[in-house]
Structure 1
Amino acid sequence: MTPKLNRRQAMETAAAAAGAVAVAVQTPDAEAGGRVELGRYAHRDGVRGRMTGAQAAAAAIRCEGTPCVFGIPGAQNNELWDAFKAYEVPYMLVAHEFSASIMADASARATGRPGVFSVVPGPGLTNCLTGLGEALYDGIPVVAVVTDIDRSANAPVGQVHGLMNEALLRPVVKALFVVRHQAEIPGTLFHAFRLAQAGEPGPVGVVIPYPFFADVWDYDQAPPPPMPVPFDETAYQRVVCHLQDKRKRIGIYAGLGCVEAGPALTAVAEMLQAPVATSVSGKGVIADAHPLAVGWGYGKQGTRAAEKAFKDVDVVLAVGVRYSEVSTANYAIPDIEVVHVDVNPNNMGKNVPTSHSLVSDSRVFLDRLLGDAATLRRPADPGLWSRIDRHRQVDRCIARTQQVTQCVDPMFFLSQLRCSLGPEELIFVDVTASTHWASETIEVQGTRRYFTPSDNQSMGWAIPAAIGAQRVRPDRRVVCVTGDGCFLMSAMEMSTAARLGLPVKFFVFDDGAYHYMQMLQEPVFRRTTATEIARVDYAAFAAGLGVGYNQIASNADVVPGLQRSFGLAGPILTHVIVSYDGREIRWLNALRTKYIGDLSNREKIRLAARVGVRAVTPRDDSD
């Protein structure tokens, strides 16, 4: 009679059997003449040798120098995660797949290398769609390794996680590849990495049915070279001829597309004596300390310095930037001639008319301009530098003046946060009412230091993003500023920081409401709806997760409170009690003005009637 085994004994027996199989499946070692374990022929310059599909995938990802793979292992991709360990691919378990895609996004923003995450199909995939959408809209290179169910002709019906995974993934990625045979795995991954970075960067999905992870193949796959960079010489010459007109004053509007071209951008600005404004995601492409840097935006939504400097501009040279809804406050763009240079032809002439356009990588274009300096250079303009400096000092003075007194003034806090950090620290800001103050106030001296979800506006993004960035940049201090509403969406991910001892400093602005929505609702409806949120005991929450706790409740305690947060080891949750009453948000004012201006006369009458009626017959039904 066969003795019964308990669960642990059964697992140990299965493990021993698997080990015996691993020893039996061997391949000759041509150099040593001996025998090696399956899959050990993996090289930095490619994937070669006889190995499983999972091992080939792990070897390809390792070849790309991926700093970390984020995700949660599951039934369909356990083979792959075991291969990550065998091939020493750095990986990190997250608390929710929502965070896996966001951490991969943040890894790419912080390092310049494509971020990678791995999830199971079905709920694993659907949970990560928000982060993929943010990466797509913001132009961030990410490789999503999504396992699929068995899709073969004889596959059983009703497999777990059997949603239409390809159809779910396709709308939120730049490109999608579906592996049809295990032989395709490394080549497909290599191509996904190249495509994620080519042209306008973005996320690329790779779908691999799980049976291929266990199938064995003889691989010989080297990484392909980078994809070619487009450049239209005729269009470039037209742009140069236009910029040669010294009667026209030039201003530069630079975006995230210039992230690898900061030195060239700065040199071009000096050559043209052009003030430089950036988009929010482009902050840092020119150091804020540079005398030609005017902050973000160049309309009423951006810094005062940018708005005033660009009133004297005749031509805007827009480089590596999209005129998106958020960055322009609903397309509130000053009427200035635009010459647009961007690697994505779909960004040209859609939201703003252009006199000239050039499809080009920003670094290639800027380097070419510097090569034509003899015909483009303009004399130094100390008067311009002096005016910019005065305008920027006014902006800084306003930010550092305490205008909210009953508790913490968010803009004052942000200005002091910037002063408390070194020039290399990483700052992540969530989608809160304070987002636009942060864009005005937080100055950075280089790229890959300031991060926010610019175009998809994914609430709760900053907490997992900061954790992911800290994982791949342990050499930098990482700070996260989020709101109480965003906190409710992703706060449990702080357990990951606690588990791994990642010393992120989390600052939560608490006013008990979705105040951003209140600011949008109140002027139009004279009441708020569904904006008051649950009260949280932040001290108890921090204690429950094993995260350090701190509180800042007044302006007088801002500087000491920051010192306490940065003086404590490990991850720290700082509860900042704020009020938004008493501060102007320039972006919001520009948005309202543009919104009302775009209404038809009928719509304006309807809006005025509703506001008037509710003003004279107020009801206490805001919630």
Structure 2
Amino acid sequence: MDWSFSRRGLLHGAAVVGGAAVAGIVDRASVSAAPLDRLRQKPGWVVGKLTGAQAVAESLRQECVGCVFGIPGAQENELWDEFKARGVPYLLVAHEFAAACMADGAARATGRPGVLCVVPGPGVTNALTGLGEALLDSSPIVAIVGDVANGDKYRPFQVHSLDTVALLKPVTKCVYPVADVRQIPGAVRQAFRTAAAGEPGPVAVVIPFNLLIDQADFNCPPPADPGLPFDEAAFTKAVALLSDRHRRVGIYAGAGCQDASDQLAAVAELLQAPVATSVSGKGVVSDAHPLAVGWGYGPHASEVAERAFKPDPLHPLRSGVDTLLAIGVKFSEVSTGFYGDPRPRHVVHVDANANNLGKIMAADVCVHADAGLFLGRLLACADSLRRPLDGLLQARIRALKADQNRALCAVPARACGIDPLGLVGALRRQLPEDGLLFTDVTAAEHLAAEYFRVGRPRTYFNPVDNQAMGWSVPAAIGAQRACIGRAVAALVGDGCFLMAMQELSTAAREGLPVKWFILDDHAYHYMQALQKPAYRRTTATVLAKLDYRALAQGFGVGYLEVDRLDALDATVAAAFQTVGPVLVRVATDYGDRKIRWIEAVRERFIVDLTPAQKTRFLTRASMRAVGHQAND
């Protein structure tokens, strides 16, 4: 039986321990049907004579699952019936891609593992993209996946008989295949621990459908807490490096700091260090903090961050950041602008996943540690780390932010619609501080990352590393289901919207009041921005013009539209004041809007080309520039 973790899981030894706990969880010498008073004496345990489906449902109840997203099918009807019988909350989706994205959205918004339940075959393959996004973006998910019959019930050529475990391994931290009904509670509950431990990610439990109707006596305790990683020796080296007060420290924080926001701000103040974040890390420090500088720190990211990390031109004797403290973050392609972050003289890299340390950005010290634990330990070393208040640095950051705010307030009117930066500003003005904003794979995602101010952790979300188009449409629904009473909005390109728009029917049926703002320019503008400079034409980027009003009416959601900048704030405000889900069409005109990420990545791409490749690109572009080329 394969209990091993995939390449992005925890250490192999932890997997073996977890697998052993799962496989050996039943005390066969003492198993008996448990009366109710025995159950009360063992809070958190799964006990009694239960079917496999009842054992799954009871395990989810013990984990206090807020909602299971998915679609029932032949292999799991028994299980879904038990969800209803035992009061396990569930939500029917329109497509299994959305089930994974909704579980992901709920997980990111709450910090607790989201749950989906799908059948094998097409149920699994439809969910793979969403699971892959959760894996690469470090989001904890537990997938309960049915499978074809096993053991003496196995038959060749069963419906949906793809290799479920093999399909799931590349997009999960770990797959627990269940071979015996008695393993079910242990496998399900271990999956929750594994999903949240170390670097979070998706975990799958695969259960053949015949086991759901098998029955056994259970006496299963909750799994042990795996604990938090912490490398004491490496921590000591990090403190020694950071204690040199001649070094100017800058902090680069990622999603691993989402639950350590206060400690992060305190450490920044201790070191008088500007704090930049990855895209996934937006919100781990409030943008209102005097040392917060936005996302990234290279030419692709926030201009405030890039300039704050560099030497101050008004004070030539003051050096820029020469020591980078990277915490709970991966130097991924998107967040580094195609690996364009400059390397300071010294780097300390801290992460809960040892496999992330020192990758892309070479580090002087690699600390395998939980971000919150590391930051707490740094605060305990305050006397050796403390710098005096750096008034010049904070004044410079304040001035840079003021320049950024003026740019946000000076969005030009466009001839054929609204500059998307105008929508970013209107969303920030109208969305409550504790409201949640989901962005999608659109050129405007980079504008939002730079200009949308975030004041709290777990309020800004983006499909960063798998770049799954359409992700935000269902992810926002999952977050709204988990965060009843809070405002939830999604900033979506029209191309992304086409990928998952059927989920508007889910929101309408459930009365979940998500507000979707669709940037409608009838094109894959992102691809056009990448294609046109390189090829002097665009290919396969023009979309159909849709009747969004009729579409919203058909799905049963509210509808608003806006095509003038001077009406934008009022329309956005009206959307949030409208009861129920609302689709807002925003006629969009990018005009000559430059996007730092795209410009910087294009330059990085050119630098990466060989001389022969550069010649070929330039020759082709020159020939097309003087010829007559169709636009698309």
Q: Could you say if the C-alpha distance between residues 88 and 610 of structure 1 is closer, same or farther in structure 2, counting changes exceeding 3 Å?
A: same
Aligned 8 A contact 1:231 1:360 in 2: yes
Report the Cα distance in structure 2 between the residues aligned to 1:247 and 1:547, rounded to whole angstroms: 59
Any idea what the Cα deviations from partners look like across 1:525-577, whole Å, max 9, x if unmatched? 00000000111100000011111110011111101111221221110100000
Mapped partners of 1:327, 1:358: distance in 2: 21
Q: Does 1:543 align with 2:553?
A: yes
- The residue identity in structure 2 corresponding to 1:230 is P
Secondary structure of the residue aligned to 2:599 is helix
8 Å Cα contact 2:150/2:179 also seen in 1:
no
CA contact 1:42–1:48 (8 Å) conserved in 2: no
Task: Give the partner amino acid of 1:64.
Answer: E
Q: In 2, Cα distance between the equivalents of 1:335 and 1:500? A: 49
Is the CA contact (8 Å cut-off) linking 1:105 and 1:465 kept in structure 2?
A: yes
Pick the aligned partner of 1:522 from 515, 532, 535: 532
Distance 2:577 2:483 in 1: 19
Unmatched runs of 5 consecutive residues or more in structure 2: 1-31, 311-319
Q: How does 1:101-180 map to 2 (within 5 A)?
A: 101-153=100-152, 155-180=154-179
Please say if 1:325 is aligned against 2:333.
yes
Greater CA drift, 403-412 or 72-81: 403-412
Query: 1:99 offset after TM fit, Å?
Result: 0.3
Aligned to 1:271: 270
Q: Distance in 1 between matches of 2:277 and 2:413?
A: 28
> Are the counterparts in 1 of residues 70 and 92 from structure 2 also a CA contact under 8 Å?
yes
Q: Distance in 2 between matches of 1:43 and 1:94?
A: 35
- Residue 607 of structure 2 aligns with an amino acid whose one-letter code is G
Task: Give, in whole Å, the separation in 2 of the partners of 1:467 and 1:217.
Answer: 37
Residue 586 of structure 1: aligned partner: 596
SS at match of 1:59: helix
Q: 1:339-350 alignment to 2 at 5 Å?
A: 339-350=348-359
Distance 1:32 1:361 in 2: 39
What is the deviation of 1:225?
2.4
Is 1:377 aligned with 2:386? yes
Letter in structure 1 aligned against 2:530: L
Partner of 1:246: 245
Letter in 1 for 2:449: S
User: Residue 410 of structure 1 contacts residue 580 of structure 1 at CA under 8 Å; is this kept in 2?
Assistant: yes
Mapping of residues 600-611 of structure 1, within 5 Å: 600-611=610-621
> Is 1:397 matched up with 2:406?
yes
Deviation (angstroms), 1:153: 4.4
| Partner secondary structure for residue 559 of structure 2 | strand
The separation in 2 between residues aligned to 1:43 and 1:65, in whole angstroms, is 16
The aligned residue for residue 22 of structure 1 is none
Q: Which residue of 1 aligns with 2:438?
A: 428
Q: Distance between the aligned counterparts of 1:212 and 1:192, measured in 2?
A: 18
TM-aligned CA distance change 1:409 to 1:156, over 3 Å: same
The structure having more radius of gyration, on CA atoms, is 1
Shift, 1:475, TM fit = 2.2
Q: In structure 2, what is the equivalent of residue 363 of structure 1?
A: 372
Aligned equivalents of 2:154, 2:607: Cα separation in 1: 58
Larger mean Cα displacement after TM superposition, 575-584 or 176-185: 575-584
CA deviations on 1:567-612 (whole Å, 9 max, x unpaired) are 2111010000011122110001110111111111111111111111
Q: Deviations over 1:113-138 (max 9, x none)?
A: 10000000001110000000000000
Structure 2 equivalent of residue 571 of structure 1: 581
User: Does the Cα contact within 8 Å between 1:296 and 1:303 map onto a contact in 2?
Assistant: yes
| Counterpart Cα distance in 2 of 1:399 and 1:419 | 11
User: Could you tell me which residue of structure 2 aligns to residue 612 of structure 1?
Assistant: 622
- SS of equivalent to 1:299: coil
Instruction: Output the CA distance in 2 between the equivalents of 1:125 and 1:449.
Output: 29
Give how far 1:32 is off.
8.4
Judged with a 3 Å threshold, the aligned counterparts in structure 2 of structure 1 residues 32 and 504 are, in CA distance, closer, same or farther, namely: closer
SS in 1 for 2:450: helix
The CA distance in 1 between the partners of 2:400 and 2:579, in whole Å, is 39
1:84-137 superposed Cα distances (whole Å, 9 cap, x missing partner): 111111110001101001101111101111000000000111000000000000
Whole-Å Cα distance in 1 between the matches of residues 75 and 148 of structure 2? 7
CA contact (8 A) 2:115 2:143 kept: yes
2:190 is paired with a residue of what secondary structure?
helix
Q: For residue 364 of structure 2, what is the amino acid of its counterpart? A: S
Q: Which residue of 1 aligns with 2:474?
A: 464
Bigger relative contact order (CA 8 A; separation at least 6): 2
Identical-pair percentage = 51
Q: Which amino acid aligns with 1:547?
A: V
**Counterparts of 1:42 and 1:409 in 2: how far apart (Å)?**
62
1:561 and 2:580 are equivalent in the alignment: no
Give 1:419 deviation, angstroms: 0.8
Q: Distance in 1 between matches of 2:567 and 2:412?
A: 15
Amino acid at match of 1:200: E
Q: Deviations over 1:453-512 (max 9, x none)?
A: 010000000010011111111121110110100111100100000011111111100000
2 CA distance for matches of 1:607 and 1:154? 59
Structure 1 match to 2:321: 313
Secondary structure in 2 aligned to 1:128? helix
Aligned counterpart, 1:93: 92
User: Does structure 1 conserve the Cα–Cα contact (< 8 Å) formed by 2:124 and 2:164?
Assistant: yes
Measure, in 2, the Cα distance between the counterparts of 1:30 and 1:507. 53
My pick for the range that moved more, 391-400 or 569-578, is: 391-400
What residue in structure 1 maps to residue 360 of structure 2? 351
Decide whether aligned partners of structure 1 residues 263 and 147 sit closer, same or farther in structure 2, where only a CA change above 3 A counts: same
CA distance in 2 between partners of 1:299 and 1:257 (Å): 20
Q: Is the 8 A contact 1:430 1:459 kept in 2?
A: yes
Q: Secondary structure at the match of 2:151?
A: coil
SS of the aligned residue for 1:341 comes to strand
Deviation at 1:31, TM superposition (A): 6.3
Task: Name the structure 1 match of 2:11.
Answer: none
Secondary structure, in 3 states, of the residue corresponding to 1:257?
helix
Q: 1:450 aligns with which of 445, 460, 468?
A: 460
TM-score (structure 2 length as normaliser): 0.92
Determine the C-alpha separation between the residues in 2 that align with 1:306 and 1:373.
25
Measured in 2, the distance between the counterparts of 1:429 and 1:254 equals 20
Alpha-carbon deviation of 1:346? 1.4
In the alignment, is the contact (CA less than 8 A) between 1:256 and 1:279 conserved in 2? yes
Secondary structure of 1:158's aligned partner: coil
One-letter amino acid of the structure 2 residue matched with residue 249 of structure 1: R
Contact 1:470 1:502 in 2 (8 A): yes
Q: Which amino acid aligns with 1:379?
A: P
Are 2:407 and 1:408 equivalent residues in the alignment?
no
Any idea what SS the aligned residue of 1:73 has? coil
* CA apart distance, 1:44: 4.8
Q: Distance in 1 between matches of 2:492 and 2:447?
A: 13
Cα RMSD (Å) of the superposition?
Answer: 1.5
Inter-partner Cα distance in structure 2 for 1:228 and 1:382: 40
Asked whether the equivalents of residues 43 and 63 of structure 1 are also in contact (C-alpha less than 8 Å), the reply is no
Query: Which residue type is aligned with residue 69 of structure 1?
Result: V
Tell whether 2:512 aligns with 1:513: no
Which residue in 2 is equivalent to 1:235? 234
Q: What SS does the aligned partner of 2:607 have?
A: helix
Tell me if structure 2 keeps the 8 A contact 1:404–1:582. Answer: no
CA contact (8 A) 2:33 2:49 kept: no
Which amino acid is the alignment partner of residue 323 of structure 1? Answer: F
Q: In structure 1, what is the equivalent of residue 203 of structure 2?
A: 204
Instruction: Give the 3-state SS of the residue equivalent to 1:591 in structure 2.
Output: helix
Q: Tell me if the contact between 2:34 and 2:47 (Cα under 8 Å) persists in the aligned partners.
A: no
Given that 1:481 and 1:506 are in contact with CA atoms closer than 8 Å, whether structure 2 keeps it comes out as: yes
Aligned residues: 590
Gap change, CA 1:405 and 1:374, over 3 Å in 2: same
CA–CA distance in 2 between the matches of 1:253 and 1:417? Answer: 26
How much does 1:334 deviate?
1.2
Q: Which residue of 1 aligns with 2:71?
A: 72
**Larger mean Cα displacement after TM superposition, 560-569 or 242-251:** 560-569
Amino acid at match of 1:377: R
- Whether the 8 Å contact between 1:400 and 1:416 is mirrored in structure 2 is no
